[in-house]
Amino acid sequence: MKISGFTYLRNAVKMGYPFIPSILSLLPAVDELVVVVGDSDDGTREAIEALKNKKIRIIDSVWNMELREGGKIFAQQSNLGLAEISGDWAVHLQVDEILHESAAEQLRKYIEKAEQRQDVDGLLMPFLHFWGDFQHIRSTRSTHRYEIRAFKNVPGIYAYRDSQGFRKYSSYENYLAGEKGQKLRVLKTDISIFHYSYARNPRYLNSKMRAFFRFWHNDNWMEENINHKVFDFNEVDKLELFTEEHPKYMKETIAGQDWEFNYDPSKSNMRPKDKLLNIIEKRTGHRLFEYQNYILADKNR
């Protein structure tokens, strides 16, 4: 059984994404890795080439700015990579997501188990969302607890919305026409995705806001809401301390932290309703009214 990885990126050096650790963390788990590199001018492609890893195959792309609203460009780039892989299973990481070094063996075992079941389409993985630095995580209702990051490479599966997850569609034409698609049936795993998008120097987050929201909204919205905003890590609902081990691939990045973050809980912007729901979740382990872009398969079958 062949396992393929795929990811996409553009100007990742300029944006401060940990894309090299992300790629390095995925390589042990896959037999090939397709990297879709958008039209970059900051050495992103050269950095990937410098890895000189035979598993990596670079696909060059040009981002279509007409797809800038609704995050459509992210789904398109994800689908470009998905179309190029040849494995029986697909594993996707975005370039701010890292696997622990212990994950490769675990992932293959889960895939071998899921491969034997016709009622399973993929695997669900829990997320650790780092915020402000490498010692704080955000695990409130404003973040997704789980997402699909591995699935059977069968016809009809494409990136959902802005490529946060994946769904199955009746045809590519209907997918482009706006079909909602079918949620994938998945097995829940304990393989954590370390998500570092908001564990970067604030100057990158200012650039991220302008670059990311540019692919969701028009110029007028950007001017009114984003262009003059200065990112503040304390504009957040609630953070918790992270005391466990980071992936070894992030060792150099963490050692090179060049900013300070002092968490101030008194500045919390959590709504009263969410405070109550958060208390219930902490006490029961259940997140009420949680949006789920998947269907859990029976783990005991």
Q: What domains sit in the chain, N to C, each tagged with a CATH number?
A: 3-124+145-188 (3.90.550.10)
Residue 124, pLDDT score: 98
Task: Identify which of 289, 293, 264, 265 has the alpha carbon closest to the alpha carbon of residue 277.
Answer: 289
> For strand 182-183 and strand 165-168, is the pairing parallel, antiparallel, or unpaired?
antiparallel
Residue 202, pLDDT score: 86
Give residues with Cβ within 8 angstroms of 160, minimum separation 6.
75, 166, 167, 181, 293
Can you tell me the distance from the alpha carbon of 35 to that of 53, in angstroms, rounded to the nearest whole number? 12
Give residues with Cβ within 8 angstroms of 102, minimum separation 6.
none
> For strand 295-296 and strand 146-152, is the pairing parallel, antiparallel, or unpaired?
unpaired
Provide the residue count of the chain: 301
Give residues with Cβ within 8 angstroms of 5, minimum separation 6.
26, 27, 29, 30, 32, 33, 34, 85, 90, 91, 92, 93
Can you tell me the distance from the alpha carbon of 86 to that of 69, in angstroms, rounded to the nearest whole number? 30
Residue 263, pLDDT score: 96
Residue 39, pLDDT score: 94
Give yes or no for a contact between 66 and 60, defined as CB atoms under 8 angstroms apart. no
Give yes or no for a contact between 149 and 294, defined as CB atoms under 8 angstroms apart. no
Residue 71, pLDDT score: 72
Look up the pTM and report it: 0.92
Q: What is the pLDDT along the chain (301 residues), one digit of tens a residue?
A: 999 999 999 999 998 999 999 999 999 999 999 999 999 999 999 999 999 999 999 999 999 877 766 678 899 999 999 999 999 999 999 999 999 999 999 999 999 999 999 999 999 999 999 999 999 999 999 999 999 999 999 999 999 988 889 999 999 999 999 999 999 999 999 999 999 999 999 887 776 666 656 555 566 656 666 655 667 899 999 999 999 999 999 999 999 999 999 999 999 999 999 999 888 998 998 898 888 999 999 877 7
